[in-house]
């Protein structure tokens, strides 16, 4: 009876039960969080093969991209760049909201139109080292892009103010 109730309410894709459509990105985010607390090196063929096998086991092979480059890009989209091709899940990064708000206020007061993530990291090093586990400017850039995506443009490790059209 319970099995029938679950199957009537939820869809099953691979070994995962879900309500509504389950996207590849949400499945990849789940796998990244569950199996890779230290992150996954998307440049490593072996680690990407392991990731693909876990995804195939949980999600089914029919829904997965066959090309490793497409898979690596998808993992990069759901993860946070921590250093040199390593991506971790956002939940493993400790970054209180007031830190992002402080950086956001600084960006609003800036007279220049763009600033590099490295400059921001150096400028806020004290607060980042005390309040967060952000270890480098790559992680800072990824977190800011994730949190402030609607307010600024993020291109090649630069944060750019959006120009207001007259």
Does any domain span residue 145? yes
Q: What is the pLDDT of residue 166?
A: 45
In terms of domains, do 64 and 143 share one?
no
Looking at per-residue confidence, does 101 or 21 come out higher? 101
**What average pLDDT does this structure show over 43-47?**
87
**What average pLDDT does this structure show over 142-152?**
91
* pTM (predicted TM-score): 0.74
pLDDT tens-digit profile of 65-89?
Answer: 778 888 888 888 888 898 888 999 9
Query: Domain count of the chain?
Result: 2
Token pair in block for residue 21: 């459509």
In terms of domains, do 13 and 35 share one?
yes
Q: Which of 64, 91, 118 is at the close of a domain?
A: 91
Q: How far is CA 26 from CA 16, 67, 107, 122, in A?
A: 11, 18, 31, 33
Confidence of residue 117 (pLDDT cuts 50, 70, 90): very high
In terms of domains, do 124 and 136 share one?
yes
Does any domain span residue 12? yes
Q: Which of 63, 91, 119 is at the close of a domain?
A: 91
Q: What is the pLDDT of residue 84?
A: 84
d(CA 109, CA 28): 37
Q: What is the pLDDT of residue 140?
A: 94
In terms of domains, do 61 and 98 share one?
no
| Parent domain of 81 | 2-91
Least confident stretch, 14-28, 65-79, 151-165: 14-28
Query: Strand pairing partners for 17?
Result: 12
In terms of domains, do 17 and 76 share one?
yes
Determine the 3-state secondary structure of 155 from DSSP. Answer: strand
Nearest to 36 by CA among 50, 22, 18, 16: 50
Q: Which of 29, 63, 91 is at the close of a domain?
A: 91
Looking at per-residue confidence, does 18 or 117 come out higher? 117
- Residue by residue, what is the 3-state secondary structure of 55-118? HHHHHCHHHCCCCHHHHHHHHHHHCEEEECCEEECHHHCCCCHHHHHHHHHHHHHCCCCEEEHH
Answer for the pair 124, 102: CB distance below 8 angstroms, yes or no: yes
How many Cα neighbours within 13 Å face the side chain of 156?
Answer: 0
In terms of domains, do 46 and 103 share one?
no
- Give just the sign of the alpha carbon dihedral 35, 36, 42, 46: negative
In terms of domains, do 18 and 65 share one?
yes
Answer for the pair 135, 83: CB distance below 8 angstroms, yes or no: yes
In terms of domains, do 132 and 76 share one?
no
Does any domain span residue 166? no
Question: pLDDT above 70 covers what percent of the chain?
Answer: 86
In terms of domains, do 87 and 97 share one?
no
Q: What is the pLDDT of residue 30?
A: 86
In terms of domains, do 83 and 41 share one?
yes
């Amino acid at each position: 009876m319970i099995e029938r109730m679950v199957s009537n309410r939820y869809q099953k894709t691979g070994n995962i039960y879900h309500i509504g459509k389950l996207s590849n990105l949400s499945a990849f985010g789940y796998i990244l969080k569950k199996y890779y607390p230290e992150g996954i090196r998307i440049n490593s063929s072996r680690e990407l093969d392991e990731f693909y096998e876990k995804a195939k086991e949980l999600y089914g092979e029919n829904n997965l991209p066959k090309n490793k480059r497409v898979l690596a890009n998808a993992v990069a989209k759901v993860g946070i760049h921590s250093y040199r091709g390593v991506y971790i899940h956002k939940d493993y990064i400790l970054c209180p909201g007031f830190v992002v708000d402080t950086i956001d206020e600084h960006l609003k007061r800036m007279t220049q139109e763009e600033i590099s993530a490295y400059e921001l990291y150096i400028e806020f090093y004290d607060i980042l080292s005390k309040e967060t586990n952000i270890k480098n400017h790559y992680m800072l850039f990824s977190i800011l892009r994730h949190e402030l995506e609607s307010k600024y443009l993020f291109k090649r490790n630069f944060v750019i103010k959006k120009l207001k059209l007259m």
